[in-house]
Chain A
Amino acid sequence: MATKTVEFNVGQGREMGLGGAGAPSPIAPFDIPEPDVGTERMLINIGPQHPATHGVLRLVCELDGETVTSVTPHIGYLHSSFEKLGEYRTWNQIVPLTDRMDYLAPLIYNCAYVMSVEKLMGIEVTERCKVVRVILMELDRIFGHLLWLGTTAIDVGAFTPFLYSFQQREKIYSLHEALTGARITTSATRVGGMMADLPEGWVDELGVFLDNFPKTLAEVHHLLTGNQIHIGRTQGVGAITAEEAINYGFTGPNLRAAGVPYDVRKDRPYYDYETYDFDVPVGEHGDCYDRYLCRMEEMEQSVSIIRQAMARLPDGPINVDDPNISLPSKTDAMSDMESMIHHFKLITDGIPAPEGDCYMAIEASKGELGMYVVAEEGGTKPVRWRVRPPSFVNLSVIPKLAEGHLVSDLIMINASLDIVLGEIDR
């Protein structure tokens, strides 16, 4: 390491000394080391307990000055082994595990899981159930995107959108509560139907929310979309090309922001999504700003889909009419012998599945959510229940995205990916 000798002179300067000559210093000259700027790598640890990591995520960054040269994400702090637990539970008992994964959009996970099991068993749910599930999934897409919007805005220093979006989320919480009795851990679905039909007046409440929500969205647009600071922090940050985005496994708004129009609702439609009229927003540059725009537009499209679904919501039963799948009503179970036997068999044994496996991919708020179930002949529990977590794969790209950016950009990139650690760690 280079050193520099420092000498102290007393009385230097015309006005102080005689003829400019310095008087000898009483302090002996000594050497101080000179720092080698730019040659030392520095390690910065962010998390696991840090508000900007959006969960218990730990990022170990290697820095050259303030530039990130590499990032190593460490995950697993929330690992609860849901998939192992699922192997010890009957098909319907797994539903409560699913909403604990993505607690920011729990109904999407509830629906995706039972859709996979129903597909494996060859159960066709009722028309009303299909439309109700579409409404719930689109509602929770807004729910998940709103949290992303608020927390991401706060990461770039904008506090107001956080308050606006959480005000609207509170309305969705109330809708959740009216439907399921819980705000986050909804567990709303059952194999072959729903836990309960929509309560009285719920659709009207939803209509009130849909009337007010676009106003808030327009306000946030006004605050952020043309905002100089927001643009400066997001444009050109964490960009990825379309080809790389596919190869790295990006799905959802992250992939579409890179210019790939892949949306499971359009490309592999389920629940008659092909009959709904909606657009898939596609970005151009694949950077944080395009991801922001894609999600903002998706919320508006979701509002449109919910309105269409409300208009076509048919009457009729919500559960399939099969006593081997759906529980009988409480009155029947108490008074009718046959219903009581079915109730007993369903509760103690569960629903038998055929031999086989099924991978059901749906478009969750974070990306492609796959539910893979494997069953043995007559099995009332899965041999294997696998969740293909969209944010798990999305997060694995962060070392590539953050390389060469500043530490503050790393925070923005991490926020723009829209991760939820409950689902990454499972």
Chain B
Amino acid sequence: MADEQKTGLDAVDDGPMAPISGETAEPSSSGDPSEHATVAALLERYPDQVQRHQLTAGDQWVVWIGPERSHEIMTWLKEDPAHSYDMMSDVTGVDYGNGRPVEVVYQMYSTGHSRALRIRCPLPLDNLEIDSVYDLWKSVNWLEREVFDLFGVTFKGHPDLRRILMPDDYAEGHPLRKDFPLRGRFSRAEQTRRALAQNVERFYLADELEAGEPQEVEAIEVGSIAESGADSLPTRAEAGEDD
């Protein structure tokens, strides 16, 4: 990162939000957890897993938890009748850059208790792995795939973890990470060359290709038609289509 902030068009390639100061203070918890039944219960039940909690944007509660026992906590949040977060609205990632951990963010809602909660799981950059919650909420199927695609976070236990928005054989990395340049890693010419060299069959999954094995068809030799029909067809010169 450059020391001084660039402005205008120069800033476009420089990445968003160049750090204003090098050091970021260790954030602290805020808000009175007794206002939110789930936050209070989480602090009581998993005191060593809850890293901090925060009341943000007026009335939204955020809890930071460690990734090691995240699946256990998620199961409890869904199954416990006092909380029963049956609706997993969103799973996404946040990358702050500057070597800070990538965070996986869960937005949940309990239709029974009309209560919303946000869980954030910071993952160290050298170990971007977390347990999938697909077995609890089927709605995270594509959402986790998207986080995997755009941030490179591996969800252990996801049944079908592959890229979703980018092509399956996309080799340039994970676009929403801060170290990914806005205009891609390769030059425009190289990107065009790669696009033209694509093999269309790569858009099929392996088992789809297997299921659709083409019938054995006797290949017609290209030359045989040309030989038989060539004499009757006038060439362009004969037909007077000279340009």
Please give the distance in Å from B81's CB to the nearest CB on chain A.
15
Could you tell me if B176 and A43 are in contact, using CB atoms closer than 8 angstroms? no
A84 to B13, CA, bound (A): 12
Could you tell me if A359 and B175 are in contact, using CB atoms closer than 8 angstroms? no
A307 at interface (Cβ–Cβ under 8 A)?
Answer: no
If A84-B176, A119-B57 touch, whether A249 touches B203 (CB-CB below 8 Å) is no
Could you tell me if B96 and A75 are in contact, using CB atoms closer than 8 angstroms? no
User: CB-defined interface of A41-76 with B at 8 Å, one 1/0 digit per residue?
Assistant: 111000000000000001010100000000010111
A320 to B212, CA, bound (A): 61
Could you tell me if B92 and A88 are in contact, using CB atoms closer than 8 angstroms? no
User: CB-defined interface of A71-103 with B at 8 Å, one 1/0 digit per residue?
Assistant: 010111001010111011000000000000000
If A43-B212, A372-B105 touch, whether A79 touches B17 (CB-CB below 8 Å) is no
From A84, A260, A357, A425, contact of B182 by CB (8 A):
A84
Could you tell me if B16 and A76 are in contact, using CB atoms closer than 8 angstroms? no
A42 to B215, CA, bound (A): 11
| Chain A residues near B20 (CB-CB < 8 A) | 376-378
Please give the distance in Å from A143's CB to the nearest CB on chain B.
24
B36 at interface (Cβ–Cβ under 8 A)?
Answer: no
A79 to B176, CA, bound (A): 13
Could you tell me if B12 and A388 are in contact, using CB atoms closer than 8 angstroms? no
A379 at interface (Cβ–Cβ under 8 A)?
Answer: yes
Could you tell me if A247 and B90 are in contact, using CB atoms closer than 8 angstroms? no
A25 to B143, CA, bound (A): 68
Please give the distance in Å from B18's CB to the nearest CB on chain A.
10
A109 at interface (Cβ–Cβ under 8 A)?
Answer: no
Could you tell me if B16 and A381 are in contact, using CB atoms closer than 8 angstroms? yes
Q: In the complex, how many residue pairs between chain A and chain B have their CB atoms under 8 Å apart? A: 140
| Chain B residues near A75 (CB-CB < 8 A) | 164-165
| Chain B residues near A246 (CB-CB < 8 A) | 86-87, 111
Could you tell me if B164 and A76 are in contact, using CB atoms closer than 8 angstroms? yes
A396 to B90, CA, bound (A): 13
Could you tell me if A372 and B92 are in contact, using CB atoms closer than 8 angstroms? yes
| Chain B residues near A392 (CB-CB < 8 A) | 142-143, 146
From B96, B150, B165, B180, contact of A383 by CB (8 A):
B96
A393 at interface (Cβ–Cβ under 8 A)?
Answer: yes
B95 at interface (Cβ–Cβ under 8 A)?
Answer: yes
Least CB separation from B86: chain A residue = A246
A342 to B146, CA, bound (A): 40
A84 to B146, CA, bound (A): 14
A119 to B60, CA, bound (A): 10
Could you tell me if A396 and B141 are in contact, using CB atoms closer than 8 angstroms? yes
User: CB-defined interface of B120-146 with A at 8 Å, one 1/0 digit per residue?
Assistant: 000000000000000001111111001
A83 to B149, CA, bound (A): 14
A267 at interface (Cβ–Cβ under 8 A)?
Answer: yes
Could you tell me if B56 and A386 are in contact, using CB atoms closer than 8 angstroms? no
Least CB separation from B136: chain A residue = A247
Please give the distance in Å from A93's CB to the nearest CB on chain B.
12
* Residues of A204-248 contacting chain B, CB below 8 A: 244, 246-248
| Chain B residues near A62 (CB-CB < 8 A) | 208, 211
B46 at interface (Cβ–Cβ under 8 A)?
Answer: no
Could you tell me if B57 and A358 are in contact, using CB atoms closer than 8 angstroms? yes
| Chain B residues near A374 (CB-CB < 8 A) | 94
A128 at interface (Cβ–Cβ under 8 A)?
Answer: no
Could you tell me if B176 and A383 are in contact, using CB atoms closer than 8 angstroms? no
A313 to B137, CA, bound (A): 42
User: CB-defined interface of A106-131 with B at 8 Å, one 1/0 digit per residue?
Assistant: 00000000000001101000000000
| Chain A residues near B191 (CB-CB < 8 A) | none
A396 to B58, CA, bound (A): 33
A259 at interface (Cβ–Cβ under 8 A)?
Answer: no
A375 to B177, CA, bound (A): 16
User: CB-defined interface of B177-200 with A at 8 Å, one 1/0 digit per residue?
Assistant: 000101000000000000000000
Least CB separation from B120: chain A residue = A357
Least CB separation from B214: chain A residue = A43
User: CB-defined interface of B3-26 with A at 8 Å, one 1/0 digit per residue?
Assistant: 000010001100011001000000
Could you tell me if B118 and A359 are in contact, using CB atoms closer than 8 angstroms? yes
B88 at interface (Cβ–Cβ under 8 A)?
Answer: yes
| Chain B residues near A83 (CB-CB < 8 A) | 150, 176
A361 at interface (Cβ–Cβ under 8 A)?
Answer: yes
Could you tell me if A357 and B92 are in contact, using CB atoms closer than 8 angstroms? no
Could you tell me if B114 and A76 are in contact, using CB atoms closer than 8 angstroms? no
B63 at interface (Cβ–Cβ under 8 A)?
Answer: no
Least CB separation from A396: chain B residue = B142
A58 to B208, CA, bound (A): 14
Please give the distance in Å from B8's CB to the nearest CB on chain A.
9
Could you tell me if B107 and A249 are in contact, using CB atoms closer than 8 angstroms? no
A76 to B164, CA, bound (A): 7
Least CB separation from B149: chain A residue = A76
Could you tell me if B107 and A388 are in contact, using CB atoms closer than 8 angstroms? yes
Please give the distance in Å from B169's CB to the nearest CB on chain A.
12
| Chain A residues near B27 (CB-CB < 8 A) | 355
If A372-B92, A393-B143 touch, whether A247 touches B107 (CB-CB below 8 Å) is no
Could you tell me if A74 and B203 are in contact, using CB atoms closer than 8 angstroms? yes
| Chain A residues near B141 (CB-CB < 8 A) | 396
Could you tell me if A383 and B17 are in contact, using CB atoms closer than 8 angstroms? yes
Could you tell me if B167 and A368 are in contact, using CB atoms closer than 8 angstroms? no
Q: Can you list 7 A-B contacts with CB-CB less than 8 angstroms, sorted by A residue number?
A: A41-B212, A87-B17, A119-B57, A248-B138, A374-B94, A376-B20, A379-B17
Known contacts A87-B17, A122-B58, A356-B56; can you find 18 more A-B pairs with CB under 8 A? Answer: A74-B203, A83-B176, A84-B176, A88-B16, A247-B139, A260-B111, A267-B111, A268-B114, A268-B116, A357-B57, A357-B105, A368-B89, A370-B107, A376-B17, A381-B16, A383-B17, A383-B96, A384-B94
